[in-house]
């Protein structure tokens, strides 16, 4: 890898284009400089001919080797941004997805309209939903998670970001005391049958954070049932493309008064809202 910062960036883009498509490789090389090395484009323009310390060149070469094997950039970096905040991520946690911001926005909207004073984020992973809601509302926020590794990361993130969240280890709503208030969740919803066709990068994320039985519907269905039985104010779920119709039918079957689906920018079912 190059001796100067400018050369390093060109070499990096060339190395990445060996296994990413060219536009992706260019964007990632800029991202690596900004997020991984803390060097903005304007910094490189001004200081591009300065020599790169050998240790840093070795670090970039090591990242390239891991990235070539398919490891996601967020795991190499150790953090990812969600709604402008930095969250630690590890192989125990799902990497935050931009579409989960739609779920958070829907939760803020529904919770405000219903005047709730508490909520619970079920399957909190790195804690992005619970921590964002704790920092952006005055609600009492609880969170549950089955994976002890993910729970530890969520607790560390809450501490680092100064969010007050009552974390509970266990399944779905079982460890959460009454009243549960607004129930929000991005649970695993990928159909295990789709596993072989998924991007290689996904194989680095915990399968327990991705897949659910019954074509991806099992955990969402069980949470809709538990939330209704526990008299939740509403239940909001991130869901997969094409899952809205079936989950709405199941929600109504559990006694929810109303169930509606919001689609994302690509017109895929993305957020289910069960009310009443």
Supply the minimum distance, in Å, between the C-beta of residue 124 and ligand SAM: 5
Q: Which of 146, 180, 259, 272 binds ligand SAM (CB under 6 A)?
A: 146
Show the CA angle centred on residue 221, arms to residues 256 and 148, nearest 5°. Answer: 125
By the rule CB under 6 A, 187 interacts with ligand SAM: yes
- Window 97-116: residues binding ligand SAM (CB under 6 A): 100
By the rule CB under 6 A, 137 interacts with ligand SAM: no
Structure token pair of residue 85: 């905040």
d(CA 41, CA 51): 16
By the rule CB under 6 A, 150 interacts with ligand SAM: yes
Supply the minimum distance, in Å, between the C-beta of residue 225 and ligand SAM: 13
Size of the site for ligand SAM (CB under 6 A): 23
Residue 274: CB partners within 8 Å, gap ≥ 6? 224, 227, 228, 234, 235, 236, 237, 251, 256, 258, 259
* CB nearer to ligand SAM: pick between 147 and 233: 147
- Residue among 235, 242, 239, 204 at smallest CA distance from 218: 239
- Residue among 4, 8, 6 at smallest CA distance from 60: 8
Partners of 258 in beta bridges? 275
Q: Which of 111, 188, 216, 244 binds ligand SAM (CB under 6 A)?
A: 188
Binding site for ligand SAM (CB under 6 A): 94, 96, 100, 122-126, 128-129, 144-147, 150, 171-172, 186-188, 208-209, 219
């Amino acid at each position: 890898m190059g001796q100067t910062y400018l050369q390093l960036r060109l070499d990096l883009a060339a190395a990445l284009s060996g296994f990413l498509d060219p536009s992706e490789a260019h964007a990632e090389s800029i991202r690596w400089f900004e997020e991984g090395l803390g060097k903005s484009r304007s910094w490189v323009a001004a200081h591009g001919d300065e020599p790169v310390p050998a240790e840093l060149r070795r670090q970039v070469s090591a990242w390239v080797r891991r990235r070539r094997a398919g490891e996601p950039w967020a795991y190499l970096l150790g953090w990812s941004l969600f709604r402008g905040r930095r969250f630690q991520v590890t192989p125990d946690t799902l990497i935050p997805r931009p579409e989960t911001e739609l779920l958070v926005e829907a939760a803020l909207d529904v919770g405000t309209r219903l005047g709730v004073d508490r909520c619970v984020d079920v399957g909190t992973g790195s804690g992005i939903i619970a921590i964002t809601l704790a920092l952006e509302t005055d609600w009492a926020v609880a969170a549950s998670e089955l994976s002890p590794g993910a729970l530890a990361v969520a607790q560390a993130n809450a501490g680092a970001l100064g969010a007050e969240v009552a974390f509970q280890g266990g399944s779905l709503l079982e460890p959460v005391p009454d009243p549960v208030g607004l129930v929000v969740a991005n649970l695993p919803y990928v159909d295990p049958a789709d596993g072989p066709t998924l991007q290689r990068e996904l194989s680095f994320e915990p399968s327990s954070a991705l897949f659910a039985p019954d074509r991806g519907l099992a955990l969402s269905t069980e949470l809709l049932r538990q939330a209704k039985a526990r008299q939740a104010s509403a239940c909001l779920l991130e869901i997969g493309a094409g899952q809205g119709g079936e989950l709405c039918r199941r929600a109504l079957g559990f006694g929810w008064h109303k169930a509606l689906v919001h689609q994302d920018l690509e017109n895929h079912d993305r957020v289910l809202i069960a009310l009443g």
